[in-house]
Amino acid sequence: MMSFTNLITIAIPCYERKEYFLYALESALNQTVRCEVIVVDNCSSHDYFKNICKEKGITYYRNDTNIGLFPNQNRCYELAETEYVKVLDDDDILLPTYVESFLNVVHKHPDIDVYYTDYYVLSKRGASNNSYTFPFGYMKNGDEIIEFGAKYNLGFPYMTAAVRKSIAILDLDKGMCIGGYDWVWVYSNFNKLTFYGNSEKLHHYRMHRTKTSRGKDWSVNLLTYSYIFEIIILRSLIDSELKKKVQRNIFWDLVNVKAHGNKKILKEIMNSDNRFGKYLKTKLENEKKIRIIFLLPKSIVNLLYFLRSSVKKAFSNSDYIK
């Protein structure tokens, strides 16, 4: 019989989409070491999740209204009653030894605040390695998290992380736009947190046609990159060469925003209370080269970004290219 731990809860936020929910739930239930599992429904229009949870004896919560993706993630942290919480997206999968591996690490390092693992990307073509680089092992503070973000581009695997409940609540802006608030939380608090990265691929991150956000969400998500690089990482670095690299990252990530963003939507975001929109507005007001990029026709900026991306791919080992 499998053992049980009351140190961690797997919390599954869900909304409307039924297609992958059962896979996520079964992966949480079929751990080699069982733990508390809860489901937090963001006010779906049906009772599918409620009925499945009743059938399987799972604690089910339902919000009175749709409060948004990240607010519902915060709700998961609030409702869990254990010291650590693993938020599992309703379309992702945990491998059976995730909880067991987490417990082994906490036994050796009881001070860790954030435990994360490597992961596979799951698509119709099967499972493949992710394209990001991040540090593994025990980190008393997150200096390596910042360094790897500067060297290898942002890619912290927050979706694989178990986080100490007492510090887990994300700081969110008003409105329903989906930005990278999880990454902002990690990179903003790097020097206050103790991390452990497990190189085992114990998480399957599913990619599918309904995964990618559209409109405002997509534009805000793109802005997250340059915002984190400039507001958080650049200010934390001492190495001059890394600073230059990050400054190039900031410029080209903003070029990407222009290349793939919608002018009307970007204007709306800049005039909202969203921190990423305010950041873009400030950049356009204060930096001439960014202003010029945003005045150019989208087709030209698209071509510029495409050419740059092609050069980057051809010379991916160069120290002079992001």
Per-residue confidence (pLDDT) for residue 298, from 0 to 100: 92
Burial label, 273 (beta-carbon count in 10 A; 0-12, 13-18, 19+): exposed
pLDDT in tens, 94-108: 999 999 999 999 999
Helix, coil or strand: residue 86: strand
168 near 86, Cβ under 8 Å? Answer: no
For residue 208, the model assigns a pLDDT of 82
E strands in the chain? 3-14, 33-41, 59-62, 84-87, 93-94, 114-123, 126-129, 137-139, 162-164, 195-206
Domains in the chain, CATH or no CATH each: 3-206 (3.90.550.10), 215-314 (no CATH)
Residues 208 and 92: their CA atoms lie apart, in Å, by 11
The pLDDT profile of the chain, 322 residues, written as one tens digit per residue, is 469 999 999 999 999 999 999 999 999 999 999 999 999 999 999 999 999 999 999 999 999 999 999 999 999 999 999 999 999 999 999 999 999 999 999 999 999 999 999 999 998 888 999 989 999 999 999 999 999 999 998 999 999 999 999 999 999 987 656 789 999 999 999 999 999 999 999 999 998 876 645 556 778 888 999 999 999 999 999 999 999 999 999 999 999 999 988 888 899 889 888 899 999 999 999 999 999 999 999 999 999 998 988 877 665 544 434 4
Non-local (6+) Cβ contacts of 173 within 8 A are: 179, 181, 273, 274, 275
Q: Can you give the pTM of this predicted structure? A: 0.92
- pLDDT value at residue 261: 86
Cα-flanking dihedrals φ and ψ of residue 31, to 5°? -75, 145
Separation of alpha carbons 261 and 263, rounded Å: 6
pLDDT at 192: 95
Task: Give the pLDDT confidence score for residue 216 in this predicted structure.
Answer: 66
Q: How many residues comprise the chain? A: 322
Token pair, residue 284, equals: 């356009």
Burial of 62 (0-12, 13-18, 19+ CB in 10 A): middle
